Amino acid sequence: MTEPVLQRAEAAAWGADVVGELARGLGPGPFAEVLLFCSPRADLAAIAAQAGAVWPGVRIVGCTTAGEISGVGYAEGQVVAVGLPAAAFAVETVFVPDLSRIAREALVAELIRARARLAEARPGWAGEFAFVLVDGLSLREDELAATLATGLGPVPLFGGSAGDGLRFGATFVIADGRVWRDAAVVSFVRTSCGVKVFSLDHLVPSEVRMVVTDADPSARIVRQINAEPAALAYARLLGKDAGQLTTFTFAAHPVVVRLGGRHHVRSIQRMLPNGDLVFFSAIDEGLVLRLAEPMNMARHLETELDRLGQPGAILACDCILRRIEAEEKQLYGELSRILQRHRVTGFSTYGEQFGALHVNQTMTGVALYPKGA
């Protein structure tokens, strides 16, 4: 393994001095940016305020999680801090305060200016990527990803939607020393490290097809599939009764849609009492969906991470449905060991961003390779 290129620390979310413990774990820096992946059990407002005092002059962004990825792999009830050393990273952040009213032209212009400032500040550093954290219950991730892609040009983008465990109550983003809802923050990163942004999933489309015949796209709700009540039709295709549908059922039997020559997952979040299905990402009437079958998660993850070579670190956003599947299939420990072995740090999400798309049931991330490695 090569030397780590990021600094990482973790602390219990309910600790008396969470930020102080994280600062001691990260070391003196200096850092271009500090990322905070926070269990929803943490005091977000206090952490956001204290972080600015502990790391003065440093860009600090973060979000709540549906679980963390720490030094032991999958973790719960933690705050994970990631420091990007200023010796190898330069960062510009772009804050999007109101996702319900995205000013597309202004946002694209701001992204272009941020990239230009970084290129001017570090002309000798060729590695670059953009990392976005977004309110995971905003229902605006698809629109945001499409807008960001316009302003990014060739810069590869990945990111994740903030989580709230399995409660789906409220999700938050940290930026500018405060905690925000209905908001997003984009980190433009330029680095002397080698960079590879990736997305992976372990799902194979089957031949079982279905058509969305009644939906509310603004709420990501599907009312009917194949002209039947959505939950009933979905359960029938699985050979189950609608009353048997659970979060694990949705994680184990996602559906995919074909876009741009590739299949992309459209995961089901939950079933409403009336039998409607709520999805994690964009859905609309007329979409042709196919059931997907999972490969062995652990074997697939090991193979895909091995293909990345030997990066010094991997920063990743991993869908909550992958964690749920790992727990149900008793692969949680094995996946944790794989994540630990490959130096993966990040959080479990309510959805992932990759390029111009908001996707589900994937792991998206960036592998970072030390200069000369």
Q: What is the model's pLDDT at position 258?
A: 82
Q: What is the model's pLDDT at position 281?
A: 87
Q: pTM value?
A: 0.93
Give the list of residues 6+ apart from residue 243 with CB closer than 8 angstroms, or none. Answer: none
Q: Do 341 and 177 meet the contact criterion of CB atoms below 8 Å apart?
A: no
> Rounded to an integer, what distance in angstroms lies between the CA atom of residue 196 and that of residue 156?
9
Give the list of residues 6+ apart from residue 287 with CB closer than 8 angstroms, or none. Answer: 211, 212, 257, 266
> Rounded to an integer, what distance in angstroms lies between the CA atom of residue 286 and that of residue 34?
43
Whether residue 247 has pLDDT greater than 90: no
Q: pLDDT grade, residue 372 (50/70/90)?
A: low
Q: pLDDT grade, residue 371 (50/70/90)?
A: confident
Task: Specify which residues 225 forms β-bridges with.
Answer: 212, 228
Q: How far is CA 180 from CA 96, 119, 174, 260, in A?
A: 10, 29, 6, 33
Q: What is the model's pLDDT at position 264?
A: 83
Give per-residue pLDDT as tens, 43-79.
Answer: 999 999 999 999 999 999 999 999 999 999 999 999 9
Give the list of residues 6+ apart from residue 303 with CB closer than 8 angstroms, or none. Answer: none
Give per-residue pLDDT as tens, 170-219.
Answer: 999 999 999 999 999 999 999 999 999 999 999 999 999 999 999 999 99
Whether residue 3 has pLDDT greater than 60: yes
* DSSP state at residue 77: S
Give per-residue pLDDT as tens, 266-307.
Answer: 889 999 999 999 999 889 999 999 999 889 999 999 999 999
Q: What is the model's pLDDT at position 278?
A: 94
> Rounded to an integer, what distance in angstroms lies between the CA atom of residue 209 and that of residue 219?
23
Pick the closest to residue 176 from 299, 91, 52 (CA basis). Answer: 52
Q: What is the model's pLDDT at position 248?
A: 87
Q: Tell me the CA end-to-end span of the chain in Å, nearest whole number.
A: 10
Q: What is the model's pLDDT at position 321?
A: 92
Q: What is the model's pLDDT at position 4?
A: 74
> If residue 111 lies in a helix (H) or strand (E), which one and from where to where?
helix 104-121
DSSP 86-105: TTTEEEEEEEE--GGG--HH
Give per-residue pLDDT as tens, 71-121.
Answer: 999 999 999 999 999 999 999 999 999 999 999 999 999 999 999 999 999
Mean pLDDT (the chain) is 94
Whether residue 373 has pLDDT greater than 60: no
- Positive or negative, the CA dihedral 66, 251, 290, 307 is positive
Q: Do 161 and 135 meet the contact criterion of CB atoms below 8 Å apart?
A: yes
> If residue 283 lies in a helix (H) or strand (E), which one and from where to where?
none
